[in-house]
Structure 1
Amino acid sequence: MDPILKSSTTSTSTGSASKRAGTESSQGAMKKKKLKVNSLDASPWQPSPPSLLHFVSPSSSPPTITTSSSSTISLDSKKIAFLDLDGTLIHTTYGASDYLDEWRWFNDNVLVELRRLLAEDFLLVLVSNQAGLRLDAHQQTRMSQRRSAWKIKIESIAEEIPDIPFQLFAAIEYDHYRKPMLGTFDYYSQLLQAEDFHVDLPNSFFVGDMAGRPNRIGFGKPQGDEDRKWAANLGLKFHTPEAFFGSGENERLPPLSGFRPRDLKPGPLFTPTSTPLIPSPLPSCEVVLFVGEIGIGKSHFHRSFFEDEGYVQVSQNDGLSLEQCVSSVKNLVAEGKRIVVDNTNRSREIRAVYVAIAKKHSVPIRCFYFNLPSSLAKHNNIYRLYPSAQGDHVSREEIASFKTAGLQVPVGIEEGWSEEVKSIGWVGWIGEEDSEEKRRWEGWMS
């Protein structure tokens, strides 16, 4: 028999059909339980970034971020059992009210396993995506009520297991805290390091239901794979809840779908190779026009190959309008500078304006077309959500606008170029090879 459903708020609707993601209706009588928000001795909700909710059960001791620590201290490692919430530790019932109010344990083995993990010196950390708790500007009151109800649910879980300390992190926006991105792990690691601990990754693991199983349906669509990708990004062992809280044997999972750079085979940096990327000797004045999608890596390419050669970057990324970019190029050409125009330059009409400027001053103008998959542009754009990443994240609306307008592929010298268009066939990691930044960029972003 299924475990009895718990309720953290009083139902506001009767007779409505309940909807539970991925589960059947609970058997037996439903247990109603009301928990006041202030029933716990002290607030378990910790200060955290605006888009991340952080809960520490009363039986846990929350670490605090400090600004001073000795670099000579050897950090002790902690084994962490990372766990997803909904569909992994608990099942939540939707439809009985407007809020996420009723829940039950995933199965009868959950509490047994959690206590076993504690006995084996694991810390329990829940990592959950909860974008449904965003405070939408158009539904501020309703969403605030939903978030409050959700917090009461979490507190009711903690009250149910006072002997099992845990922490929970909930990402409520589509930013770098959301799985499979690693912002939440970074934040938790920072908390641990402030207390002179670090995560023992080889001996830690993650349990989650979002494993890319095509036969699983949740919320009316095929189940996602963000839990499994999050574990893969960290190099953690991964288990489904059915395996971890059930048979103990992991089921055969299909290959992960989607895009990550480490799966690409690097091609030539550019073609044709009959002329060099950077002329030798350097011209006193030249215009290089980049053409490519938003986020495809144009600015990174400029920094890697042209910046140190004295090429001035002109880009709308710096807040310039198209007209200001054109004006800037006119002035720089008149001053005899080497210039890279780092915009999408998607139409022949826009490119013709720069060709005319170069022709007027009798300076060479070359075109570099970033002939790369759109999936790389999407990946790079999401990667820019990390605070340490270079480049500005662009909204979905801006990308959609670019896609709607389309990109006209530049053709040969008939557009007025001084040489054949160079096709940039691969923009990989150009920088320190053995770096955490490279490993992170090569992983899953969505």
Structure 2
Amino acid sequence: MSIDKFFGAKVKRKCLLKSLSENHNSIVLTEGKNIIGRSRETQIADAFCSKNQLNLDVDLDECCVNIFVNGANASGLNGFMIENGKNVKAVHGDIIEVLYGKYNYKIDFEPPPDTSKSKDSSIKDTLNSEAISNFWECIDNNDLVVYTSSYSVPSEKVAGYDLDWTIVKTKSGNVFPKDTNDWEIMLPEIPKKLKLLVQDGFKICIFTNQSGIGKGNFPLEDFKKKIEAVQNRLNIPLQVFIATGRGIFRKPLPGMWNYLQDHKNGGVEISKERSFYVGDAAGRPETKLPVKRKRDHSCVDRLFAFNIGVSFFTPEEHFQGKKKFEWVAPEYNPKTKIDSSNLYEPKTTQVPSENCEIIIMVGLPGSGKSTFSNEYLEPAGYKIINADILGNVQKCLYECEESIKLKKSCAIDNTNIDLESRKKFINLARKYDVDCRCFIMNTSFAHIKHNLVFRVLTDKDHSKINEMILNAMKKKFVEPSLTEGFKEIVKVNIVDGIIKDPEQQNLYNMYLTEK
């Protein structure tokens, strides 16, 4: 019950939609139902906006507006998307977007509602009375650290956020904070927005990569103090997931989200359709007009949202209702599939060959040479020769020669990225007058990096290849040529269906790198 009703006072009140643009009129709303959309009254002429876009049901006593979206295209409230058929409640000071991200109006009750009981205190009144106290826990040798504040309760609706440059920024202006206290709230709209989401039943979760903690560059205890200070400043219940290493918990991998669902949401199934994620690492390019901004350092936040299957917004879109920025998609899309009929280029390639031969595989680590050799060449009768298994190239040459003497074809499953490494085996083919073909993996560098991350995640025997070494090998690479002595050069595509385990295939289909 409102305070006006409690004391029996009859307050003459009106409700306005105050346009935040000089190009559109403010609108007086009457008690009960109001239809807002494309019309002379609103001066909205956008064809994407229905004439009956919004049904606004105004309650002057309670100072609230129930919003129902009639239009085919989404509307918005405080930067949050409202789709067709959805019904939400708005209050004094909220921002309605007649079309999502466009035509912004502020709800203004005159006189304003009574605020003797603050919304901050009402949040806790509506939450579980058995809420736990602030709690820290470490998982998998501190690879994941989780903070659960008082009054954080399970929900099927999760509002997920990155931390740095999304919820907070540095006071100093530095990219990285200089100490525990070098932070401030990123945008003035953030506290109110988060409080409204809590009141609407959302669980607020932060997912942040902090590899500096794992490397020892920043003490975990200091970071804990920062998180608690941020939570106290926002004055809302929070659950924070901190990835300190570079394994499955690090974004864009879904480990933190999966841990929330499996262990930290009280058994409540999260609705991905009703949840979302907000972050600044969105893959946006540098812009000069209309506003100058640097390009995003990565695409990790957007890819994290893609991997877990929820809607994604940048902080400006979500908190301020700004239009969506263009972004640059990663070079490699793991959803792209290559049919087995496109395994070889040219398609007329014969495996096995009619004659005894040496196949020299060519490709950087992670390009798929061993997978292809084991899946296609070995079953076709080829002996697979690999320096990682034998120990050195000399042993590979010996095994290759022994195989040719026995009239058995073989495949050299090494990187063979330069002329010198290939020449030794080509000379051996000439010595015994057998054919020598080159099979080069047609795998992009971005795809290779994806494969290397997948390999480390799924096979503990594989050590991580330093990116500096990988880049050096890329520079050393020399494109194979028929003039080297090859009978044929065949490009090999990695095709769908090689990964047999469904869980591993699901992981492979996700974005695994940060750019």
Pairwise same-fold verdict (TM > 0.5): yes
**Structure 1: distance between partners of 2:390 and 2:232:** 51
2-side partners of 1:115 and 1:319: how far apart?
A: 62
Q: Distance in 1 between matches of 2:460 and 2:274?
A: 29
Question: CA RMSD, aligned part only?
Answer: 3.7
Residue 427 of structure 1: aligned partner = 494
| 2:326 counterpart of 1:258 | no
Q: Please say if residues 304 and 430 of structure 1, whose CA atoms lie closer than 8 Å, have aligned partners that are also in contact.
A: no
User: 2:87 — aligned with what?
Assistant: none
Structure 1 residues 269 and 180: alpha-carbon distance in aligned structure 2, compared to 1, 3 A threshold = same
Q: In 2, Cα distance between the equivalents of 1:198 and 1:320?
A: 50
- State the distance in 1 between where 2:267 and 2:405 align: 58
Distance 2:384 2:445 in 1: 23
Residue 260 of structure 1: how far off its partner (Å): 2.0
Name the residue aligned to 2:162.
84
Q: Which residue of 1 aligns with 2:190?
A: 110
Correspondence for 2:319: 245
Q: Following TM superposition, by how much is the alpha carbon of 1:302 offset from its aligned partner in structure 2, in angstroms?
A: 2.0
Contact 1:292-1:370 within 8 A present in 2 as well: yes
Letter in 1 for 2:239: Q
Distance 1:102 1:214, change over 3 A: same
* Partner of residue 154, structure 1: 227
Query: 2:118 aligns to what?
Result: none
Alignment-mate amino acid for residue 479 of structure 2: V
Deviations 1:247-288 (A, max 9, x none): 3xx5222033331235869594323344413346xx6x6432
Task: Write the distance in 1 (CA, Å) between the matches of 2:452 and 2:501.
Answer: 22
SS at match of 1:201: coil
Q: 1:208 to 1:365 in 2, by over 3 A?
A: same
Change (3 A) 1:288 1:187: farther
- Cα distance between partner residues in 2 of 1:85 and 1:319: 48
Q: Which amino acid aligns with 1:150?
A: F
The change in CA–CA distance for 1:334 and 1:58 in structure 2 (over 3 A counts) is farther
User: Following the alignment from structure 2 to structure 1, what is the Cα–Cα distance between the partners of residues 435 and 185?
Assistant: 69
Q: In structure 2, which of residues 450, 453, 456 is the aligned counterpart of residue 382 of structure 1?
A: 453
- For residues 70-126 of structure 1, the C-alpha deviation after alignment (integer angstroms, 9 at most, x for no partner) is xxxxxxx83322111122222332479841323333345433333333344333221
Task: Verify the 8 A CA contact 1:124 1:165 in the aligned structure 2.
Answer: yes
Q: Could you tell me how far 1:339 is from its partner in structure 2? A: 2.8
SS in 1 for 2:491: strand
Distance change >3 Å, CA 434–CA 380, structure 1 → 2: closer
Q: Which residue of 1 aligns with 2:244?
A: 172
Structure 2 residue 119 is matched with structure 1 residue 52:
no
**2:351 and 2:380 in contact (8 A); partners too:** no
Q: 2:344 aligns with which of 248, 262, 270?
A: 270
Letter of the 2:311 partner, please give it.
K
Q: What's the counterpart of residue 171 of structure 2?
A: 93
Q: Which structure carries more helix by proportion?
A: 1
- Residue 340 of structure 1 deviates from its aligned partner by 2.3
**Partner residue in 1 for 2:358:** 287
Q: Distance in 2 between matches of 1:305 and 1:389?
A: 24
For residues 100 and 334 of structure 1, do their structure 2 counterparts lie closer, same or farther at Cα, with a shift above 3 Å needed?
farther
Residue in 1 aligned with 2:116? Answer: none
Structure 1 residues 273 and 93: CA distance shift in structure 2, 3 A: same
The residue identity in structure 2 corresponding to 1:344 is T
Say if 1:127 and 1:297 are closer, same or farther in 2 by CA, change over 3 A: same
Query: Superposed, which structure 2 residues align to 1:261-340 within 5 Å?
Result: 261=333, 268-279=342-353, 286-318=357-389, 320-334=391-405, 337-340=408-411
**Residues 93 and 100 of structure 1 are in contact (CA less than 8 Å); yes or no, is this contact kept in structure 2?**
no
Shift, 1:173, TM fit = 3.8
Q: Select 2:211's aligned residue among 131, 145, 148.
A: 131
Higher strand share: 2
Q: Deviations over 1:309-346 (max 9, x none)?
A: 34343224447333333344344445665432111112
Q: Whole-Å Cα distance in 2 between the matches of residues 328 and 388 of structure 1?
A: 27
- Secondary structure of the residue aligned to 2:281 is coil
| 1:242 alignment partner AA | E
In the alignment, which residue of structure 1 is the partner of 2:81?
none
Aligned equivalents of 1:47, 1:369: Cα separation in 2: 42
Cα distance in 2 between the residues matched to 1:48 and 1:94: 34
Q: Deviations over 1:35-80 (max 9, x none)?
A: xxxxx97751333444333322244479xxxxxxxxxxxxxx8332
Shift of 1:160: 4.3
Whether the 8 Å contact between 2:349 and 2:490 is mirrored in structure 1 is no
Q: In structure 1, what is the equivalent of residue 50 of structure 2? A: none
Following superposition, the deviation at residue 290 of structure 1 comes to: 0.4
Distance change (3 Å), C-alpha of 1:95 and 1:80: closer
SS of the residue corresponding to residue 293 of structure 1 reads coil
Q: 1:183 aligns with which of 244, 255, 280?
A: 255
What secondary structure is seen at the aligned counterpart in 2 of 1:421?
Answer: strand
| Cα distance in 2, alignment partners of residues 319 and 205 from structure 1 | 50
Higher relative contact order (CA 8 A, sep 6+): 1
Determine if the alignment matches structure 1 residue 228 to structure 2 residue 302: yes
SS of aligned partner of 2:230:
helix
Aligned length: 373
What percentage of aligned pairs have identical amino acids?
26
- 1:128 Cα deviation from its structure 2 partner: 1.1
- With structure 2 as the length reference, what TM-score do the two structures score? 0.62
* Cα offset, 1:154, TM superposition: 1.0
